[in-house]
Amino acid sequence: MLVNERNSPPPRQRPNSHDATVLLPRTHAGTVVLPRLPPEASSFADPVPAEERPPSKRIALWRQLLLFCGPAALTIALGWYGIGQRQMWNDEYATEHAATLAWHDLFRLLGNTDRVLTLYYVLMHFWVSVAGDSPAMLRLPAVVAMGCAAGFTALVGQRLFNSNAGLIAGVVFALLPSVSRYAQEARPYALAVAAATLSTLILLVALERPVWGFWLLYALSVGFAAGFHLVSILVVAPHVLLVWFRYRRSNRDVRLWKSIGAFALIAALAMPLAFSSSGQSAQIAWIKADKHAIVQFPAQLFGSYPTSVALAAMGLLGTLVLLFTRHRRLAVTLLAWTILPPVLTYVTFPVLHVFLFRYLLFTLPAWALLAVGWIYAVVRVTTRHSWPQLLIGAAVIPALVLLTLPAQHAVRAHLMGDEPDYPSAAKTIVAGLRADDGIAFAGTRRPPRLGLQYEMRHDAAQPVDVFLLKTPAQTGGYGAEECPSALPCIGTRQRIWLVNTSDDTSPWTGMQPERARALNSLFTVSQNWDFPLIHVFLLQRKA
């Protein structure tokens, strides 16, 4: 009787006449016991030398911590640099609005819109109550999350390749301009990236040590990724390949059944959220998948066109080298992580409308790993040592720094390309504000009410919102309910600050015709100020 130890491959075939005789140790009972193979031979990937990838059980904790903390610290440092320099934009104002609502108002909002962001808004509600609502504090959770994503990328690379390759992959991820950009944004994308990468790491651990606890943690981590952004659940696609490759190499052991249980739990966590949010799909109807969106996609995903070209070239090189050096499973898995989610969101766009680069940021760790794959594979086939990987990385990383430096400056610009300059408009109004002044809003780009309210939140004197009937908190949305008739709301007010976000300089563009006629007949424009994509008019009542 043969007794295979856990994770051992099938017994060897009888050797040929020219092979050496195979001697197997026997116990006192005559049972043949196969020697334990090194852990790397039981991985889903092709075997690698033991000196390149030491057994995970023997890796010292301090080494794991250093491997995690290096890329994480670099990402956090880059994310913290200039964190309050860029003005917040429309979606970040929405985050601040939701996070500062009372609990009953927040749940009224989620009942009407953004139900898919419930987990993030609840988290931010607790965070803002402790840290405040300054731009830096609103963005700090994203900075920390993106730093964790870089550390998890390095640890995933350690298990897929080795420690040196994992370290290089974590640094490459940290240097991507889009990583810095969305580390400095009060939105859930960085948290979704971190949760998706963590789930991949936990899955690799569960495949090495298939105990129920790891499978439960894996399912919960994928659930958190979907909770922060539902599209992130597509990270399960490469996970299925990981499980299948491991299942085929392990005599079809119990891992398959435990993984099926984990996938079932993931479905149980994600499907109710997807179903309950399907009725709010109108809020993403503005997303497009036309030719312009496809052309812009690479630069938006990576942060710039040069960065996208460099990562695509390195990724293609990594894919080819892995395929031709007996690492086909690694290549296929990473391709499923990088390419499959964008393809699926594009193909399903007529139904789901989720083809947007921000939703697919969780593919960036896989791009970093794939870009490092050629370094790992080339060194493996040329030498038995792994330290040359660090030498190649020391040459590649400075070149990547120089390539991404202009984009790193661009993502920290004060204004985004299509966002009005709310801080300048707010300072102008506060500087000239008098008692009993009113304020009104108009425009064709975005409703400027939330942005102006945030920028003037700490000013003691506030203009009266002339046409406001119900606040956004009362309506359960991001927009307010305004007066149906202008004259009763204007009353006897002598001065009104009119804020308009239209492209032209006319104060009445984008305003209801009846309201525009009333203001034009009662007031004259005494002063006006033009800022990027926003105009401020001081209306003085006629004699």
Neighbours of 20 (CB within 10 A): 6
In angstroms, the CA 204 to CA 158 distance is 11
In angstroms, the CA 70 to CA 67 distance is 6
In angstroms, the CA 505 to CA 191 distance is 40
- Residue 364 φ then ψ, to 5°: -60, -40
Please give the single-letter amino acid code of residue 354: V
In angstroms, the CA 429 to CA 42 distance is 67
* pLDDT given for residue 471 in this prediction: 93
Greatest Cα-to-Cα distance within the chain, rounded to the nearest angstrom: 113
In angstroms, the CA 75 to CA 55 distance is 28
Q: Locate the domains of the chain by residue range.
A: 56-410, 422-541
In angstroms, the CA 255 to CA 207 distance is 7
Q: Which residue has the tokens 């491991």?
A: 246
Q: Which residues, 6+ apart, have CB-to-CB distance to 149 below 8 Å?
A: 75, 173, 179, 190, 193, 194, 197, 365
Are β-strands 481-482 and 468-470 bridged in parallel, bridged antiparallel, or unpaired?
A: antiparallel
Contact predicate 146/196, CB 8 Å: no
Neighbours of 108 (CB within 10 A): 16
Strands, E assignment, 114-270: none
Q: Which residues, 6+ apart, have CB-to-CB distance to 132 below 8 Å?
A: none
Query: How many C-alpha atoms does 453 have within 13 Å on its Cβ side?
Result: 21
Predicted structure pTM score: 0.87
Neighbours of 68 (CB within 10 A): 23
Q: Which residue has the tokens 């870009």?
A: 371
Q: Per-residue pLDDT tens, the chain, 543 aa: give them.
A: 333 433 444 444 444 433 333 333 444 444 434 333 333 333 444 434 333 444 445 556 788 899 999 999 999 999 999 998 899 999 999 999 999 999 999 999 999 999 999 999 999 999 999 999 999 999 999 999 999 999 999 999 999 999 999 999 999 999 999 999 999 999 999 999 999 999 999 999 998 888 888 999 999 999 999 999 999 999 999 999 998 888 776 665 666 777 888 888 888 888 888 877 776 667 788 899 999 999 999 999 999 999 999 999 999 999 999 998 888 999 999 999 999 999 999 999 988 889 999 999 999 999 999 999 999 988 888 887 878 888 999 999 999 999 999 999 999 988 877 889 999 999 999 999 999 999 999 988 877 899 999 999 988 889 999 999 999 999 999 999 999 999 999 999 999 999 999 988 899 998 999 999 999 999 999 999 999 999 999 999 998
DSSP-based helix, strand, coil % in the chain, nearest 5: 60, 5, 30
In angstroms, the CA 216 to CA 266 distance is 10
